[in-house]
Amino acid sequence: MDLELRGSGLEPVGHYEEIEISESSVNNGPERIGPHCFELLRVLGKGGYGKVFQVRKVQGTNAGNIFAMKVLKKAKIACNAKDTAHTKAERNILEAIKHPFIVDLIYAFQTGGKLYLILECLSGGELFMQLEREGIFLEDTACFYLSEITLALGHLHCNGIIYRDLKPENIMLNSQGHIKLTDFGLCKESIHEGAVTHTFCGTIEYMAPEILMRSGHNRAVDWWSLGALMYDMLTGSPPFTAENRKKTIDKILKGKLVLPPYLTPDARDLLKKFLKRNPNQRIGGGAGDAADVQKQPFFRHVNWDELLARKLDPPFRPCLQSDDDVSQFNTRFTRQTPVDSPDDATISESANQAFLGFTYVAPSVLESIKEGFSFQPKVRSPRRLNSSPRTPVSPVKFCPFEAFKPSLVVEPMELGPPLVLPPPEGTAPLPIKTPTGTKKQKGSRGRAAR
């Protein structure tokens, strides 16, 4: 080593110890990961297949660190082939995809009756909760979040993955206020240029027309959903809602897009491009994908390189007192006693074969784990501004209206009449500032008029 240092023009200073950096020296050998490695702290969410807990690792590598632990019951998943496939796809995608705005998988393991995913614990909570508090976002605030989501979707698409369930409940904030996409249970892999899939799934209010029509869909569906999310951020609800599923679907397929007059021209233009019913005419639906979206005037002030490096200052920074602070999560869950029910369910050996290879340990402890995540269930309370609940749909849980057929050929979307009530004055997207030191906590801007 002395020769190597001198050959490079460097001299060793003082006493030093030579340590060979290798998989074994970094990870200290294979670690046996199981439920016993984690202390349950809080319940963060509940779903049909299990729970999500905030946990602390109590032994081995990363001892003392806070994570989110998603627990799935094998018996409920294994009874349906599609549920099993979606669970395996989620775990594989979480292992394969590493991106600043996509949740990281730290560990995955299983017991006789359960599957466990250990994720970073996103202490900033859901974007849904921020929308609840604010009512609507100003355009510069929406621009920041939409920009980070655009980079995340673009990365998924480059890897042949379509997301298919973009909505505020699946977008989490880390402790600094940057977004992370979570919940990859409805993703579809191997959808590259020219490939389509036909599964009916997603959340109704954010689903693209081609999914509802079952005409075959590709990555363009995510850009429709981003448009619906943008509309939600700027107006207080998705663009097409009604009192029931059938009427909501009918509006998505045939309804007019009503754009409030307070939106800036750039915002109006981008919304119309996102919400084109023909996916071939939709922004992002072509070969350029995310690159075409990034070029839109609405994002003209965004420095994409600094955004990707997370050097830009988020519009909201969660006020957190500690690493295990759960103040940004719904108290309906956090007040519950955290109990991981006994693993007494058994499934057949043949069914258990479907979960071979589920175990995973992140490859290196040299990667610092400072910011957190959570995984939230699909069934959540609708925002108070919505006229109808959001309706999550999976291939198993929901059978769409088999008898329902659109009564008209889908026509290009038209603008409806302007709103009668004068809304608040809009703001154009402003340049996103780089951090300049300690940022003051923003106060509530109040809710939109109901």
Q: For residue 70, say whether it is annotated as part of any ligand binding site.
A: yes
Q: Is 357 annotated as a binding residue?
A: no
| Structure-block tokens of residue 65 | 């660190």
Kindly list the distances between the CA atom of residue 147 and the CA atoms of 144, 301, 310, in Å, as whole numbers in the listed order: 5, 11, 11
3-class SS string, 220-249? HHHHHHHHHHHHHHHHCCCCCCCCCHHHHH
Instruction: For residue 18, give both structure tokens.
Output: 């030579």
Residue 267: φ, ψ to 5° = -65, -45
Is 52 flagged in the annotation as binding? yes
- The answer to whether 44 is annotated as binding is yes
Environment class of 369 (CB within 10 Å of its CB; exposed 0-12, middle 13-18, buried 19+)? middle
Does the annotation place 361 within a ligand binding site? no
Q: List CB contacts of 334: < 8 A, sequence separation 6 or more.
A: 42, 43, 44, 326
Contact 175, 320 (CB under 8 A): yes
CA–CA distance, 247 with 66 (Å, rounded to integer):
43
CA angle at 107 for the pair 101 and 109, rounded to the nearest 5°: 135
Does 140 participate in catalysis according to the annotation?
A: no
49 labeled part of a ligand binding site: yes
Q: What one-character-per-residue DSSP string does 266-288 give?
A: HHHHHHHHHT-SSTTTSTT-STT
Tell whether residue 231 is among the known ligand binding residues: no
| 3-class state of residue 204 by DSSP | helix
Count CB neighbours of 404 within 10 A. 13
Is 47 labelled a binding residue? yes
Residue 45 assigned ligand-binding role: yes
CA distance 90 to 392: 17
% helix / strand / coil in the chain, to the nearest 5? 30, 15, 55
From the list 165, 222, 232, 250, the catalytic residue is: 165
Contacts of 390 (CB under 8 A, 6+ apart): 167, 169, 203, 204, 205, 206, 238, 380, 382
- What lies within 8 Å, CB to CB, of 133 at 6+ separation is 444, 447
The pairs formed by 403-412 with CB atoms below 8 angstroms and a separation of 24 or more are 404/246, 404/249, 406/213, 406/250, 406/253, 406/254, 407/254, 408/254, 410/209, 410/213, 410/253, 410/254, 410/277, 411/254, 411/277, 412/276, 412/277, 412/278
Q: Is 416 annotated as a binding residue?
A: no
Q: Which residues are annotated as a binding site for ATP?
A: 44-52, 70
Task: Output the known binding site.
Answer: 44-52, 70
Active site residues: 165
